[in-house]
Amino acid sequence: MDSRYQPQAIEAKWQKRWEDAQLFKVEETPAREKYYLLEMFPYPSGKIHMGHVRNYTIGDVVARYKRMRGFNVLHPMGWDAFGMPAENAAIANRTHPAKWTYENIATMRAQLKRMGFSYDWDRELATCRPEYYRWEQWLFLQMAERGMAYRKESYVNWCEPCQTVLANEQVEAGMCWRCGKPVRQKKLWQWFFKITDFAEDLLVHCDLLPGWPEKVTTMQRNWIGKSVGAEIRFAVENSDAVISVFTTRPDTVFGATFMCLAPEHPLVPTLAAGTDQADAVAAFIERISLQDRSSKAIESYEKEGVFTGAYCINPMNGRRMPVYTANFA
Ligand SMILES: [Zn+2]
C-alpha cells in the first residue's frame, strides 16, 4: 500500500463511483426519516475560496453522518445569483451579467464537485432562473396583497461606486465592505416587510430554540426590537409642529433640558428655515450624511450638534427646550 495519500487518483476514482451509483440522489421514501440540510447558497462570484471549502465541508460532514445514521438526507446546492455584484462585474468586464453569472456557476460547480461533496446535483437551482424566482415573486405578491410588504421613503446606506444599498453590517467604519469607498446616507423609496406585526410570535420562538447560544438569541431579540414605553409629544414654540418621542423611561422627561433630532428628521430643515441658524444646519446635515451611522460607529464619534433656532416645550414642567440636530441621541 502506498503510504502517501494520492488525491488525484483516489478522489477521482471514488467520486466517479459515487456519481455512477447516484449515491446522493434523493428519492422520496416515506418510511425513512427525512433530514434536510442546507448550507448557504454561494454567490457565483468567480471561483470558490477557502471560506467555501470550510463551510461546505462542515455541512458535508453532517450530511454524511446523518446518512450513515439512516436518515433520508436532502443536501441540495444552488446559487444565490442575483444582485449588483453581477451587474458591476459585467460592466467592468464588458460582458452580459447572465454570461458572467453562468460561467462562474460552471466553474464553481466543477470545483465543488472536485471537493467530493455529497449533493444531489439533480436538484441544483439558481435564483436568477425564472423557474425559481417566479415563486419569490408569488410569495412577495401574497405579502403585498395583505399589506405586509409596503413602500416608504427612507434613508439607506448608499455606496456610489457600487451603486447599491448596504446593510449596516456591510458598512465597516463608514466604508463599503466591497469597494472600501465612503458610504453616504441617501433617501430612497424602499420596500419594507411589516415584521413588527410578528414581533410577539418571533420573541416567543426565540425562547423555543433549543441549543442556540444565548448571544445569538439575544441578538435576535434586539433585532426584533420590541420595547415597552410611552410616546410623549413636545409642542414646538410658535408653530403647529409637534415632536413625538418614544421613551422607555418617561419618568426622566422632567430632567430633559434640550431636544435632539436626527439630521435626517424631516422637521429639521423646516425648523431652521428663516432663522439665522439655517446655513449652519444645512452644512451640518450635509457633513453628517457622510458619516457611518451604525450604532457601533456612532459610539466612537465626538458627539456634536447644531441649534436649529427653534424651541419646544417640555410637557412635564412647561420649560423651553432648545431643539438641536445632532449625530447622537
Ligand atoms: Zn462599494
Distance, CA of 123 to CA of 26 (rounded, Å):
9
- Over residues 228-238, the pLDDT tens digits come to 899 999 999 99
* Number of separate domains in the chain: 3
User: Any idea what DSSP says for residue 198?
Assistant: G
Rounding to the nearest 10 degrees, give the CA dihedral for residues 281, 282, 283, 285: 80
Is the full-model pTM beyond 0.85?
A: no
| End residue of a domain, out of 180, 201, 224 | 224
Ligand 1 center to 185 CA (angstroms): 13
Q: Report percent pLDDT > 70 for the chain.
A: 98
**Residue 294 binned pLDDT confidence (cut-offs 50, 70, 90):** low
Q: 83 and 105: one domain?
A: yes
Write out the residues surrounding ion ligand 1, Cβ under 5 A: 159, 161-162, 176, 178-179
CA of 147 to the centre of ligand 1 (A): 32
Q: Is residue 293 in some structural domain?
A: yes
pLDDT tens-digit readout, 8-46: 889 999 999 999 999 999 999 999 999 999 999 999 988
| Ligand 1 centre distance from Cα of residue 94 (Å) | 19
- Judge if 22 and 79 occupy the same domain: yes
Q: Which three cell numbers stand for residue 67?
A: 446518512
- What's the pLDDT score for residue 92? 85
Residue type for position 235: A
Together in a domain, 202 and 252: no
178 Cα–ligand 1 center, Å: 5
Reply yes or no on whether the pLDDT at 300 is more than 80. no
Tell me how far the alpha carbon of residue 182 lies from the centroid of ligand 1, in angstroms. Answer: 8
User: Mean pLDDT score of the chain, rounded to an integer?
Assistant: 91
Burial level of 325, CB count in 10 A (0-12/13-18/19+)? buried
Q: How confident is the model at residue 185 (pLDDT cuts 50, 70, 90)?
A: confident
Query: Contact 194/147 with Cβ under 8 angstroms?
Result: yes
Q: How far is ligand 1, taken at its centre, from the CA of residue 57, in Å? A: 30
Question: Does a structural domain hold residue 77?
Answer: yes
CATH number where 318 lies: 3.90.740.10
Are residues 119 and 152 located together in one domain of the fold?
Answer: no
Residue 1 located in a structural domain = no
Question: Rounded to the nearest whole angstrom, what is the distance from the C-alpha of residue 165 to the centroid of ligand 1?
Answer: 9
Q: Which domain holds residue 173?
A: 143-224
Last residue of a domain, one of 109, 133, 157: 133
Residues 172-182: what's their mean pLDDT? 88
Residues 103 and 56 in one domain: yes
Per-residue pLDDT of 236-293, as tens digits, reads 999 999 999 999 999 999 999 999 999 889 899 999 998 899 999 999 988 887 776 6
Grid cell listed for 287 = 457633513
| Boundary (domain end) residue, out of 104, 133, 162 | 133
As a whole number of angstroms, the distance between CA 304 and CA 253 comes to 21
CATH number at residue 65: 3.40.50.620
Tell me, yes or no, whether 54 and 21 share the same domain.
yes
